[in-house]
Amino acid sequence: MARSASICDNKIVIYSLSAVSILLWGMSYIWSDELIAQDVSIFYFVPLRSLMAGVILLLFNISTKQFKWIEKKDLWKFALLAVFEPLVYFLCETYGLKETGSPTISAMIIASVPIFSVAAAVLLFKETVSAVNILGIIVTLAGIGLVIRSQSECGTPENFALGILLLLLAVMSEVGHASMTKHLSEGYRPQVIVMYQFLIGSVYFIPLFFTKGLEHYESCYVSMSVLKPVLCLALLCSSLAFSLWAMTIKRLGVAKSSVFLAMMCVATALVAEVIGREHLCLIQWIGIAVAVGGIVLSQRTA
């Protein structure tokens, strides 16, 4: 047990686990975009993803004897955690992806989470930020603006601005999720927190699933072309990635762990480029590099 704890405290191990989470989340935009391209309802595959992830982790926790019931005093915390994510975050993120039409730009907006983490630290916890941190925020916004501007010159979907707003709402939801996860990590294992997060979230999704989700149900909804990406999202991007991320938050804290999200847009852009889903111009790649550099500066401590 002591050996296991020392391994988890090893920064190299924690950074590696963080990198795996970011890579999987970067790929999640590709799988979600694949489902959207097949006209699969967001209210169908997002609830299904959440339920599958919760059940997978439930079976895992029971089989490894790590299962733990929620204490009464923590019920409201888990209920709020599931509101932040998966309910608000997944819906806003997926709809944002649909309206922007770009997995890379969507991932870039989500990668701005560290900026909002800094803002939350100042407003809620009265932490101080340096001039370098403020410079980092400005540089990040400039980088994101460069990519979005380049995209707009090439033509954008009709509801592109709405997509950006939804993604920003998802970002704020992620900050709330990370803060609540950090608070709960003192009394629960990461896999247990994520398990309840998705199981409770699945309950929240029930009304949406049986109304909007099944409103235009088609036989393709149970085909392998749909179930395969949903399973990848549930098993890899939800069950595995969120468990690793909860471990990262527990060890590094909200602000320090959020800086790794800056690399999500790079992972998405690279995967999209390799599979031919999306091709970025040189200016957009420069914008991504500028944004990532800015996010790192926004998290720098003396």
Q: What is the DSSP string of 68-134?
A: -PPPGGGHHHHHHHHIIIIIIHHHHHHHHHHHH--HHHHHHHHTTHHHHHHHHHHHHH-----HHHH
| pLDDT at residue 10, rounded to an integer | 67
**Selection from 3, 7, 49, 12 nearest residue 202 by Cα:** 49
| pLDDT at residue 59, rounded to an integer | 95
With tokens 């916004």, the residue in question is 141
pLDDT at 1 over 50: no
Please state the length of the chain.
302
pLDDT tens readout for residues 168-225:
899 889 888 888 888 898 889 988 999 999 999 999 999 999 998 888 788 778 889 9
| pLDDT at residue 83, rounded to an integer | 96
pLDDT at 8 over 70: no
> Which amino acid is present at 181?
T
Asked whether the beta carbons of 25 and 241 are under 8 A apart, the reply is yes
The sign of the torsion formed by the CA atoms of 205, 115, 261, 270 equals positive
pLDDT at 238 over 80: yes
| pLDDT at residue 61, rounded to an integer | 93
With tokens 């935009």, the residue in question is 29
| pLDDT at residue 293, rounded to an integer | 79
| pLDDT at residue 7, rounded to an integer | 46
Mean pLDDT score, 239-259: 77
pLDDT-based confidence at residue 139 (cuts at 50, 70, 90): confident
| pLDDT at residue 140, rounded to an integer | 73
**How many helices, marked H, and strands, marked E, lie in the chain?**
15, 0
| pLDDT at residue 78, rounded to an integer | 96
Mean pLDDT score, 23-34: 84
H/E stretch holding 297 reads helix 282-298
Q: Rounded distance, CA 145 to CA 235, Å?
A: 33
Lowest-confidence pick of 65-69, 105-109, 146-150: 146-150
